[in-house]
Every structure is written in C-alpha cells, then in structure tokens.
Amino acid sequence: MSAAAATRHRFEPTALPEVVLVHAPLYADARGFFVETWQAERFAAAGIAARFVQDNHSRSVRRTLRGLHYQVRHAQGKLVRPIRGRIYDVAVDLRRSSPRFGRWVGVTLSDEGGEALWVPPGFAHGFLALSETADVHYKCTDVYWPEHERVLRWDDPALAIAWPLAPGEEPLLAPRDAAGQALAGAETYA
C-alpha cells in the first residue's frame, strides 16, 4: 500500500445520504496513536466543502443527552468526533423540501475508531454519552447565535429515536433540552 493510499479517509453516506460517517486512518503503536481528523482537499473531493469558523469541546458524564440542537438562521454544519469515550450521535433532517424530512439517523462513535460524523446545515444534532465520560470535539461552519438556536424534543414520539437507554433509564438533560419543541410545532428549514 502506498503512503498516499494509507492516508486516505473513507466517506460513508448514512441512511440520510447528506449525513456522512467519516473514517479517518488511525495509526497506533506502542507510543499511542496518530489520526488526521480534517483535511480540506480530501473532504471537498468527497462533497464536504465546509469552511469551519468555530470549534467546540464538550465533556459529558454517562447518560448525558445534549440536543437536539439547530439554528434557524446561521444554520451550522458540524463535524463531530469523540476525543475520549463513546457517544450515540443523532442527526434529524429538518428541511421541509427534503423527501427525508423528519427522518433521523444515529451512529455510535468512539475515540478508538477515528470516526467522525458530518452533520450538514439543515439538520438538528444531538448525542448521548455512553461511556463514564465523553469528550466531544466538533467543528462548526457558523458561529453560535443563541437567539437563533432551537431545540427539538429528544423523545418526540413523531421521531421515535431509538436512544440506547436501558428500560426505565432517563437521560441527564439541561433545562433547555428538557423543554425542547416537538417536530410538529418546531421551526424548520425550507
């Protein structure tokens, strides 16, 4: 295998084709590991020509559910990657013009695999921490505008998201996430 081939990312469309699971090559040895998490030309060649303007890092304890967040103006695309622990990452299509409006996709990401999830503008995003602690880094295509942020209800029956919680187990939620809006009454995109 050539050095160029060894450094290639693999881009895997999900059930919502605009949401892409990115597999980055991870090189591990006795010292630890190295992974290239972003390379503009390679991502652009795969259809992700994002210009990132803000990076975020969150730490969550097990059962913390963050989301489902989106901005009605200044919509953000996000490249989400756990840098410690495991998460169940979810994207919901909120584009009314999309044939997949209201559908969701969820994937498990961990710090061991080198994967990231590309969630383009027009989608709500959230995740559930599956490990005792999860540090998540995400690159955003627009800055945070609190006046434009909206929260979609994580347990909306119309979405029926299959969060990996044990029967009777409740997630830890911020007050704004607990008060999220159901899809039927939510502001969405055209």
Considering the candidates 9, 70, 125, 138, report the single residue annotated as catalytic: 138
9 is known as an active-site residue? no
Whether residue 26 is preceded by a cis peptide bond, meaning omega within 30 degrees of 0, is: no
Dihedral, 151, 131, 169, 182 alpha carbons, nearest 10: 10
Active site residue 69: yes
- List the beta strands (DSSP E) in the chain: 10-13, 20-23, 26-29, 32-35, 54-61, 65-71, 78-84, 86-93, 104-110, 115-119, 123-129, 133-140, 149-151
Cα–Cα distance, 137 to 78 (Å, whole number)? 10
Q: Which of 69, 70, 88, 125 is catalytic?
A: 69
9 with 24: CB under 8 angstroms? yes
The residues, ordered by sequence, that sit 6+ positions from 25 with a Cβ below 8 Å of its Cβ are: 6, 7, 8, 9, 35, 36, 114
Residues recognised as catalytic: 69, 138
